[in-house]
Amino acid sequence: MLNFENQTLDIDELPRFEDVDGHPIDTAYLKVLRLMFIFWFILSFGGLFILNYLVDLPAIAFITILGFLILIFAFSFVEIEKGFPRRKFGIRQKDVIFQQGYFIFKQTLLPYKRIQHVELKQGPLFKAFDIYTLKVFTAGSSSGDLSIAGLNKADADKLKAQILNAADIDEN
């Protein structure tokens, strides 16, 4: 018979991933987030007022929609302004860690041994601010398991190289 062991670990002796010194996201990404906020703000409120002008919504419907939009944009504004300083990434010996969010705080740890593909992406708006998104893929995922938006070119290249090296992935 096989000798099976499954010992209990003391939780106080486990490594703490919170102790990782996170590297902040480039502040140019905060400008992008603010620009996107302003764009959607103008589009939403402008659209509501144009709709009200064209259709002449009942007052209760107009006020309800207006209140809903104000609530959504107030939460979005706080999430952007208070949540941005919490967007950080860290590199450790065996994994990558990324944290983000204010109202809904999220930390993602991705072990190098699970990584199969890494890509850098830069859309038109990101190109204007010279920032990148690093996407990390594992098996069975088509959209990426980890996406770190707002990296400057130097950080994006270093992070990609470290992940490729640690995960032992051929770049080509």
Residues 146 and 112 in one domain: yes
Is position 20 within any domain?
no
pLDDT at 3: 81
Q: Which of 125, 95, 129 is nearest to 109 (CA)?
A: 95
**86: three-class secondary structure by DSSP:** helix
Provide the whole-model pTM: 0.83
Question: What percent of the chain lies above the pLDDT cut of 90?
Answer: 65
Per-residue pLDDT, averaged over 46-51, amounts to: 96
Listing from the earlier edge strand, what are the strands of the sheet with 106-111? 23-24, 88-91, 95-100, 106-111
Flag whether 18 is in a domain.
no
The domain containing residue 139 runs over which residues?
A: 87-166
Q: Domain containing 123 — which CATH number?
A: 2.30.29
**Number of domains composing the chain:** 2
In a domain, 23, yes or no: no
Last residue of a domain, one of 67, 83, 99: 83
Query: Is the same domain home to 99 and 134?
Result: yes
Most confident of 11-15, 94-98, 129-133: 129-133
Query: What does the alpha-carbon distance between residue 44 and residue 51 come to, in Å, rounded to a whole number?
Result: 10
Helix (H) or strand (E) holding 125: helix 124-129
Same domain, 91 and 162: yes
